[in-house]
Amino acid sequence: MRLLILGGTKFLGRAIADAALERGHELTLFTRGQTSPDLYPQAERLRGDRDGALAALAGRSWDAVVDTSGYVPRVVRASAELLTGAAAHYAFVSSVSVYRDFAEPVREESTLATVEDETTEDVQEHYGALKALCERVVEEVFPGRALVVRAGLIVGPYDPTDRFTYWPLRVARGGEVLVPGDPERLLQFVDVRDLAGWIVRAVEQRLAGVFNATGPVRRPTMRELVATCRSVTGSDASFTFVDDAFLVEREVGEWLELPLWIAEAPEWRHFMDADVSRAVAAGLAFRPLTETVRDTLSWARARGGANEGTPGLDGTKGVGLEPERERSLLKEWHAQHG
């Protein structure tokens, strides 16, 4: 199969490229050449920009396209329309953030987020609604030939966000670890390699339609995650679970300052509770949590170790509690709770 990846050297794109090459496919990567440009010398590497510089794609043909880098409908439309006669199948990586709210578990048919001004390109403010509009564009341009993958939190080696990576690294450091919220709160995430492998197999089958693609089927609790991190790392870490109200009162940042944590609220109650049965029936499978933790930790150590306080996606917040902040919170918690 001749496969074109729009964005293919960063995290999910990289994992998809790995999976495609492992399965013997002929690979073309279309990127700006800014992230690991020397990767995949065995693949064809085209340079350009999805926003107005698509000339390298013109006059070519592929069996399928995987779009890992589409966030704005106008930009997605430009590439999709250019490729509509050049490829038989278009796979678009979307997000479970397309759903309007998470007061109830979400299925593929659940109500989607909307934005009043559909011409806005403010991705940070309207990420979910814009992803939903991108899906609509792809399905319009490739009717019956589009696969829409609504990914959840993607984790594993080469994760640029560190939202999951924080936990193996922090537990490996040992000592008393502040863990947020209810210990039995269920989590939902997917190893990037499991997601990428499934996407490649789905494209081989020309699978069409919309699929929530996160996991695993038996979701781990927060307690299980940190216990697995301790088991894998062999550290002496001990865990102190601190409730939502205490953390909210002290303005601890959700999701980034304390990764995988969102304070309990009706509209977020099922944020990590997407129904993935459709994707599982179509072959999505999950490796053991121990393997994800082990490989993520190994990669993170190889790149230079601890990530506490590194810049967040918005450039303004750090990912993970800084050690001094963690110690201060724990001291205050113990003073109140003995």
Peptide bond into 216 cis (omega under 30): yes
33 vs 13: CA distance, rounded Å: 13
Q: Which domains does the chain have, with CATH numbers?
A: 2-151 (3.40.50.720), 166-187+219-266+288-337 (3.90.25)
The string of DSSP codes covering 218-278 is: SPPBHHHHHHHHHHHHT---EEEEE-HHHHHHTTPPEETTEET-----GGGTTTT-B--HH
How much of the chain, in percent, has pLDDT values that exceed 70?
96
pLDDT band of 103, cuts 50, 70, 90: very high
Point out which residues pair with 26 in neighbouring strands: 2
Q: Please state the pTM of the whole predicted model.
A: 0.94
317: DSSP letter: S
pLDDT in tens, 7-64: 989 999 999 999 999 999 999 999 998 888 889 999 999 999 999 999 999 999 999 9
CA distance 310 to 320: 8
Q: How confident is the model at residue 315 (pLDDT cuts 50, 70, 90)?
A: very low
Q: Using CA atoms, how far apart are residues 183 and 11, in angstroms rounded to an integer?
A: 29
